[in-house]
Structure 1
Amino acid sequence: MELSTFLVQCLNAIQYGLLLFLVASGLTLIFGIMGVINLAHGSFYMIGAYLAFMLAPYFGDYFLVQIAAGVVIAAILGFLLEWVFFSFLYQRDHLQQVLMTYSLILVFEEIRSILVGNDVHGVKVPDWLAGGFSLGGIMTYPVYRLFASAACLVVALGLYYVVNRTRLGMMVRAGASNRDMVRGLGINIRLLYRSVFAAGVVLAAFAGMIAAPMSSVYPGMGGHILIICFVVVVIGGIGSISGALIASLLVGFVDTFGKVFFAQMSGIGIYLLMAVILIWRPEGLVRKGY
């Protein structure tokens, strides 16, 4: 493999891994803090992608404003979903959580079908992010992919700072450890949970909006990303954001280079990785913590 090709694949792996981290970190927050198995989390990624498609005609080349508008819509959706549905699941067993969140998948898919149909759609890359740069010889790398990686990295660093360096993050970590103690200290645990759930929805939707110009927007796209994100959460350690980051990058490299060197077996690469890590460390790479 030539050096330029190797660099391109490394950049692709990092970009894919960071995108996975945004979705998986939201799943980790919701499960690690609220104890809810949310099968509908992949649908939030799909909603973000379709928001990018539906908002594009209204914002034109103002891509950052379009992203901001999508984030606001996703946050409102997250607050409403937690209030109407998920607030009743905290004391229920996991079977009821699975059944209700699976039913939400069906509802979201039906709403998508009614609003935009079942065709495959594309989202145009903004003009100011179009084109690429040379990596030596005839190899070029799209500017938008670098933008996507940078955006995901900025959000990941912001998430780390909020969770580990702010008062809100302290309340989130305390709520994950002992919700009764947090409630006893006078903190509005319902508002805290609602905010955490909305943040999880925003992270997944943001990832979908960023990914939309790089790939097609199509029905059922949330199902594939959900399975991979559960793999990431299991590998990294359930409830660990830092573990989700490490696992996301590992999955990104294994999946990307698996398609290059072992194309016929690339589909099982990340699951073999999960099996090996769970045999070595059944609790995942990082014990529960943030």
Structure 2
Amino acid sequence: MKKVILLFIITLVITSCKNDVKNEENINKKLNVVTTTTMITDLVKNIGGNLINVKGLMGAGVDPHLYKASEGDVTKLVNADVIFYNGLHLEGKLVEVFEKMEASNKTPIALAKEINKRHLIGSEYFASNYDPHVWFNIDFFEKFAEKVTLVLSEKDPTNAETYRTNEKRYLTELEKLREDVESAIEALEPEKRILVTAHDAFNYFGKSYGFEVVGLQGLSTATEAGVKDVQKLAAFIIEKNIKAIFIESSVPKRTIEALQKAVNSKGHKVEIGGTLYSDALGSEGSNEGTYVGMYRYNIKTIVSALQ
């Protein structure tokens, strides 16, 4: 990681010397936008459309908690006109790189700063002291969209009207998503709204829709679940008569399989209800490869398994 940071600093210094020469040449070029997580990449593409070039650092199934910047990422970051990331120490291994960038004119934009801290969920697992999985609150994701639109419009005022039109369309899509989610959850009795997953990525979802959320590994996948954690959660599942537990696409499934085995060994049958998308979207080009499609898939999977 230190090698990557050093390379970044050297590259940044060299590139900054060339910026004045390139500024005039770049006037009519598309904005180069770099994003971190797949959720943010999808959002920026919805707002920017074909007016911008978007390069996401993370792909489907990538765990942002553990992601480390590569030398190729350094080039992308240095050449970016705009950089969007989640913040709240979600991208833990990239924090040092972003801190170095704050001394340059390429200050990355942490979208989570748009959320009033009074509405964030506290967490002792992160240096920010807040749970960073804020995209599972659709209201918060709308704030992300508003900030992205504002920044793109400031950087590229010529196309500002198009960015605002795209934002309006996308916000309408998010509002429809919210309505559909609420309708789907109404079919699930309140006492069945207990979501057990690999790690606590769904607390904002739970707070929004009245689910009790329990994660085997806590908020960060960097923490490992021990035997006592498994046994404690197994007892909880039996006590609450929970029908299904869930794997996450960006977390190894062995922990949930161990939990299922522990529960079944005590004479209580619990199913693995499916795989949920938590810290990353599905494959690019699939329905689950978009934020809206991911959210719809998760809701269908959760409700079907717990009913």
Greater relative contact order (Cα < 8 A, sep 6+) = 1
- After TM superposition, the score normalised by the length of structure 2 is 0.22
Structure with the largest fraction of helix: 1
Structure with the largest fraction of strand: 2
Q: Which has the larger Rg?
A: 2
